Chain A
């Protein structure tokens, strides 16, 4: 059994992007809504509130809680924010696998694997390129070799 966690670089990138988006939104609101002070402060507050909620609390919690276990027979994912979930899929149920990599950001952990079975799927998010290769290899060996 191999254990994989999500790549922290993706978390830092998301946090940074949210901070940057909030700064940009603040500047834009300051420029265009200066005559509507109450609305401007409300929207600025909303942007920063969402940034703090997602960038500092929810997304880090999601990254910390998500652990992927892959063995030759099964894939198990522990994940969740409010609802904790332990998800299990037998390798024998896998029909096909989709691998998604975001160009440039692939080094920051923006690699996703979607494992599809008949009637369900599992998404393995924010993997490092090496982990993504390793999981894909295990899946390929299982699908092509073990099933004959």
Chain B
């Protein structure tokens, strides 16, 4: 049965501009301070008529925009019509949906709204092809309609325990992602409120925190500690609340994922549209033989900020193998045939060395040119060198695991990128492009780097560093990827 509806009225808020809030706050404040006399109200109208007119125009335009968008869905497709001056109609058939995501943050839950993200393989960018804000009842109906179009056969369900989720959040939280969340929050609120006010609130809070810690430590060190610790804590909190109550259910043709306490998410992933799976590990989880299972599928992990592509948060190798057997029975176990050449091991340290040299060079320059800054520069260089040492440790481990392997119609890639270790298994038909690259140094030692591009709505590259050129070319040719190695570059 077809259901036709408009978006939830909460969408009106995002259709208004930030000037709306700039106008309405002082207007309400001045109205609130009025005495209850008709003359005072008249005087207020005389003073604020232009603001009220602009406000009415903004609301009117937002309302027209809201009225111009409506959707309809049945058991086969969803149609979204929109446009004030030009009518645009998007039709998405459920068979083409790679990922359907339905999210509800706290405000949406209070107002009974849900944000629906529909992604197909046709998109060009890392975002959903169709995004629509529905009432919760409509979103539930739509979810059931999509679910109804998939095969009905439940054959596997897994929910990691809370301790494991805590561990996952601990290991996968980083200062960088915390800082990115802050930036995203600032940008998002900046759309609504005045950027100056927002910057002032943020800086005032930061200054206050720095002043408190500065009683015990030098201000610059306090600032660094607060940014690092605050960013990490925020990322930890976002991960923990985002993955709380995580449940993965596998059916014949789909994966269903539910998670979150503050923001509740539901995803339906079409298995045939999954480009590859990725076992991710940090240095610590590598040492303890733990990993988390991620998938690359158009739309999964791109519905909103701080999204991850995880389908199984951190777990032991044994459980991962069990889950892989259940969730991806057709995929082989990761196997590496071509490993990094010992003669290329030195190259693994290129970036750690660069990362270490730059702050040390800066420190030497400060030592001679600005000796009075020595006190500040000394701890700063110590802090900035730590990531370089950490990266060097990761690269040392990476030397022994990096490699490539084919098992039938599947390619295994094992490599590290920055501080994360990846083991990826992708069907051969998802390899978009294979590149063999040689730097001048690698040409001298007969080594090369392999860059594999896999199918994705964004450019997805996998760098496998330090392989022997002759072995790599022969390996690819044996597996049906002819790079014409007999034809030497001129």
Contacts and interface: CB of A to CB of B under 8 A. Distances in A.
B439 A67 contact: no
A83 B459 contact: no
A88 B483 contact: yes
A118 B438 contact: no
A30 interface: no
A106 to B, nearest CB: 26
Nearest to A84: B438
B457 interface: yes
Contacts of A117: 432-433, 453, 455
Nearest to B440: A82
A88 B481 contact: yes
A118 B432 contact: yes
Contact of A119 (B440, B453, B489): B453
A90 B490 CA distance: 24
B436 A119 contact: no
A88 B440 contact: no
A120 interface: yes
A88 B434 contact: yes
B435 interface: yes
A93 B489 CA distance: 25
Interface in A78-94: 78, 80, 82-90, 92-93
B458 interface: yes
Nearest to A92: B429
A69 interface: yes
Interface residues of B, number: 31
B157 to A, nearest CB: 31
Nearest to A1: B484
B456 A118 contact: yes
A122 interface: yes
Given A65-B490, A78-B489, A93-B431, A118 B483 contact: no
B482 A119 contact: no
A131 interface: no
A86 B433 contact: no
A89 B473 CA distance: 15
Given A67-B487, A78-B489, A87 B440 contact: no
A142 interface: no
Interface string A70-111: 000010101010111111111011000000000000000000
B131 interface: no
A89 B489 contact: no
A86 B489 contact: yes
B333 interface: no
Q: What is the predominant secondary structure among interface residues of chain A facing chain B?
A: strand
A73 B460 CA distance: 23
Contacts of B481: 74, 88, 90
Contacts of A65: 489-490
A87 B438 contact: no
Contact of B436 (A69, A86, A93): A86
B360 to A, nearest CB: 27
B325 interface: no
Nearest to A5: B490
A15 B435 CA distance: 29
B435 A80 contact: no
Given A76-B482, A119-B454, A85 B435 contact: yes
Nearest to A69: B484
Nearest to A93: B432
Contact of B489 (A80, A82, A118): A80
Contacts of A92: 429
B487 A88 contact: no
Contacts of B195: none
Given A92-B429, A93-B431, A85 B455 contact: no
Contacts of B487: 67, 69, 78
Contacts of B121: 118
B286 interface: no
B443 interface: yes
Nearest to B485: A86
A14 B435 CA distance: 28
A63 to B, nearest CB: 10
Contacts of A84: 437-438, 443, 489
Nearest to A121: B433
Given A76-B484, A86-B435, 16 more contacts: A64-B490, A69-B487, A76-B483, A84-B438, A84-B489, A86-B437, A86-B483, A87-B433, A88-B433, A88-B434, A88-B481, A90-B429, A117-B433, A119-B453, A119-B455, A119-B460
Closest 7 A/B residue pairs (Cβ): A120-B453, A120-B433, A119-B456, A120-B432, A117-B432, A118-B455, A86-B436
19 contacts: A76-B483, A76-B484, A78-B489, A80-B437, A82-B439, A82-B440, A84-B437, A84-B443, A85-B435, A86-B473, A86-B483, A86-B485, A88-B482, A89-B432, A93-B431, A118-B121, A118-B455, A119-B459, A120-B453
